[in-house]
Chains A and B, each alone.
Chain A
Amino acid sequence: MRVLVLGLGNVLMEDEGVGVRAVELLESRYRLPPQVEVIDGGTTGTELLEPMRNVDYLIVADAVNTGAPPGTLVRLTGAEIPAFFQCKLSNHQLGLSDLLAVLTVTGESPKAVTIIGMVPHSLNNTLGLTPATLERLEQMVEMLVAELRRIGVEAELRPAPLPCFWAEQTRSEASACA
């Protein structure tokens, strides 16, 4: 079984980067078995085709806009996914839905796709998440862990977390402003 956990988003645009920050925290906190690959996809496109090909489970962490209040966490799966793309809820879905469409053509689609998303509070041109989003980030990571558990993958808590590049850059930003 192959699993890809893909964080999407732009870390230079505040809460837009929540998906990238979620997978960063996931990897920092948990040791994952070798069949699970975690990728910070940023806002890239075709480079993601290769890791997405023929995976059994694709789990996407992303900022989404469902019309629900900011900070709402959502889990979308199965039949909700195509509808999700039609409504254009996320800023990256052009890329993601196109990539999935390409894999349909080549017959290499992931067997199952789940999106774990958070509705953003603010999308300004600044580094780091808003405090309200940061507060929910751990919950988002726990949803990713629960998603992995659902498909039979146990994430093992590390004795000490690994360093997080973006989280640390953000902290230095906060102290510089203070």
Chain B
Amino acid sequence: MTERVVVDPITRIEGHLRIEAQMNGNTIEQAYSAGTMVRGIEIILRGRDPRDAWAYAQRICGVCTLVHGMASIRSVEDALKYTIPPNAQLIRNLMIAAQYVHDHVMHFYHLHALDWVDVVSALSADPKATSELAQKISPHWPNSTPGYFSDQQAKLKKFVEAGQLGIFAKAYWGHPAYKLPPEANLMAVSHYLEALAWQRDVVKLHAIFGGKNPHPNFLVGGVPCPIDLNSDSALNMKRLSQVQDIIKKMQVFVDQVYVPDTLAIASFYKDWFKQGEGLGNFMTYGDFPEKGMDDPASFLIPSGVILNRDLSKIHPVDLNAEDQIQEFVAHSWYDYSDDKNKGLHPYVGETELNYSGPKPPYKQLDVDQSYSWMKSPRWKGQAVEVGPLARVLMLYATGHEHTKSLVDYTLKYLDAPIEALYSTLGRTAARTLETKIIADKMQTWFDLLVANIKAGDTKTFNDALWEPSSWPSSAKGVGYMEAPRGALAHWIVIKDQKIANYQAVVPSTWNAGPRDAQNQAGAYEASLKGHVLHDPKQPVEILRTIHSFDPCIACAVHVTDPDGDELIKVQVR
């Protein structure tokens, strides 16, 4: 008898992703990933001023406002060959980096940790033993006394007894897949609360550079943030020292809480180093230029493709080549005017909706036909994974020293071989390690910015091409970046000073897209194959692997599913 486990929607906070897992006994035989919302930004942007596109693009997704705004202004700058001042580049790096550190820490404690940490078990922890554990794994972090953990436990107890689990209510407490001792659970839950307190300070960085939050301002040609050390309304000494404080706070939390917790939790779940890989193909577009987008050699993260785990060969990626990046809709609810089974490069991309699925609410999708509002992007026909694991592998393969030492240390600490990286837990660990790499690098960019200002360079905006009358009658370009969730690019075609075509291919589409015309699975689909579910009614195993990708489906697809299901709805048929 075959049955299908349906998890819909799978994100605890944002988005509408539906996973259908075809079971054989307790083993997942095939998995299908469907976005149940549609995205319409491409249609809305046509005919608009390219300089305004960022304001729309940042509304694509509630979790990723910054990165879509950034990709959008980069696309216009690429199309117009518009260079930006060095200070603007450094400020953009700091803003993107702050997004990484914030998102990755919040993803870990707020969402993903709950797949590994049993909140209810924390109630039976011994605060003294918890304190010993905490001091062992992180000797310098101050909040580690028995009294501190006793207080945290009392707070949690009150909360659980009042039946107000709230954010913690949506997991499978007591499931045998939870392996941490109560003390490790109490430590992690306490750090969840500390992450919330930490977060309040670090989000301020975007407001300092972008004027406001949660929708910071952007500017084609630079950053909308003048530098004037003697002005109250510009980036001055006081604000710069706030930025310095925030960078330090980020680094300390990552070094003394996030990294040690990841290692401690991982040490109890080593079997998750052997499953959940998926494709074995990885892609990065590259990002964090120290000099400029036109100088990829100055990027912190290089661009490239790794195929079949072969770290000795990095294939170059050309985002403008028509035969490299293509989107397929063979299993998606779209039509292409020429041939539904052919791939289209984003410059000539089409967004013609054609819903042929069942009327919601439905029990099961017909996966032989179209079954998702996501397209299937491919690189030279290959399905690839994007995100932290792809980036860490790329840094490792290209000999980045800091990455190499961190990865080697982690593997040694956990007594795991290099192959362990290709897994659910490898992906989660890669996210933690890249947070440290980026948080540490923020200091370098900040120091360069301060040195420029001290040398008298306060320029943050290049006005040379601001006026549309200075533009060619037609232009096209691609704005790419490494978003926290992976490679993101916006392709723009400009005709007579207006947007003629606009296509965004987002990280979650690379990872969560459906099968393509060749019936090749996407990264989510491939990664779930072979998972054994202890109890198909409580598929925490699916959540672990899918959450290791940090899904953000509000990002990949758009309109809401009208039936408003339970947060995690599991139906077994």
User: Chain A: residues with CB nearer than 8 A to chain B?
Assistant: 10-13, 16, 39-50, 53, 88, 91, 94-95, 98, 100-102, 104-106, 123-127, 165, 169, 176
Q: Does B196 count as interface, using CB distance less than 8 angstroms?
A: yes
A165–B196 alpha-carbon span in the complex (Å): 32
Instruction: Check if B56 sits within 8 Å of A12, measured CB to CB.
Output: yes
A104–B62 alpha-carbon span in the complex (Å): 22
Instruction: Check if B44 sits within 8 Å of A127, measured CB to CB.
Output: yes
Instruction: Check if A42 sits within 8 Å of B62, measured CB to CB.
Output: yes
Contact of B44 among A42, A44, A47, A126 (CB under 8 A): A126
Instruction: Check if A125 sits within 8 Å of B13, measured CB to CB.
Output: no
Q: Nearest 8 pairs between A and B by C-beta?
A: A125-B40, A101-B166, A43-B62, A47-B214, A44-B214, A88-B564, A101-B167, A44-B62
- Asked, given contacts A45-B63, A95-B13, A125-B558, whether A176 binds B55 with beta carbons under 8 Å apart, the answer is no
Instruction: Check if A105 sits within 8 Å of B193, measured CB to CB.
Output: yes
Q: List 12 A-B contacts (CB under 8 A).
A: A12-B558, A42-B215, A44-B214, A45-B62, A50-B200, A88-B564, A95-B13, A123-B560, A125-B39, A126-B40, A127-B44, A169-B52
Instruction: Check if B59 sits within 8 Å of A12, measured CB to CB.
Output: yes
Instruction: Check if B166 sits within 8 Å of A46, measured CB to CB.
Output: no
Q: Does B61 count as interface, using CB distance less than 8 angstroms?
A: yes
Q: Does B233 count as interface, using CB distance less than 8 angstroms?
A: no
B167: chain A residues at CB < 8 Å are 98, 101-102, 105
Chain A residue at smallest Cβ distance from B206: A47
- Asked, given contacts A102-B166, A126-B44, whether A45 binds B14 with beta carbons under 8 Å apart, the answer is yes
B200: chain A residues at CB < 8 Å are 49-50, 53
Instruction: Check if B203 sits within 8 Å of A13, measured CB to CB.
Output: no
A5–B59 alpha-carbon span in the complex (Å): 20
A158 to chain B, nearest CB (A): 20
Instruction: Check if A176 sits within 8 Å of B47, measured CB to CB.
Output: yes
B232 to chain A, nearest CB (A): 17
A124–B40 alpha-carbon span in the complex (Å): 9
Apart from A10-B59, A104-B166: 19 A-B pairs, beta carbons within 8 A: A13-B560, A16-B560, A39-B214, A43-B59, A46-B110, A47-B213, A48-B214, A49-B199, A94-B13, A98-B12, A98-B166, A98-B167, A101-B164, A101-B166, A105-B193, A123-B559, A125-B43, A126-B43, A127-B44
A104–B196 alpha-carbon span in the complex (Å): 12
Chain B residue at smallest Cβ distance from A40: B215
- Which residues 411-446 of B have a CB within 8 angstroms of A? none
B166: chain A residues at CB < 8 Å are 98, 100-102, 104-105
- Which residues 39-97 of B have a CB within 8 angstroms of A? 39-41, 43-44, 47, 52, 55-56, 59-63, 65
A50–B200 alpha-carbon span in the complex (Å): 5
B291 to chain A, nearest CB (A): 30
Instruction: Check if B59 sits within 8 Å of A42, measured CB to CB.
Output: yes
A94–B569 alpha-carbon span in the complex (Å): 14
- Asked, given contacts A88-B564, A102-B167, A125-B39, whether A46 binds B199 with beta carbons under 8 Å apart, the answer is yes
A98–B56 alpha-carbon span in the complex (Å): 26
A129–B554 alpha-carbon span in the complex (Å): 21
Contact of B65 among A13, A16, A42, A94 (CB under 8 A): A42
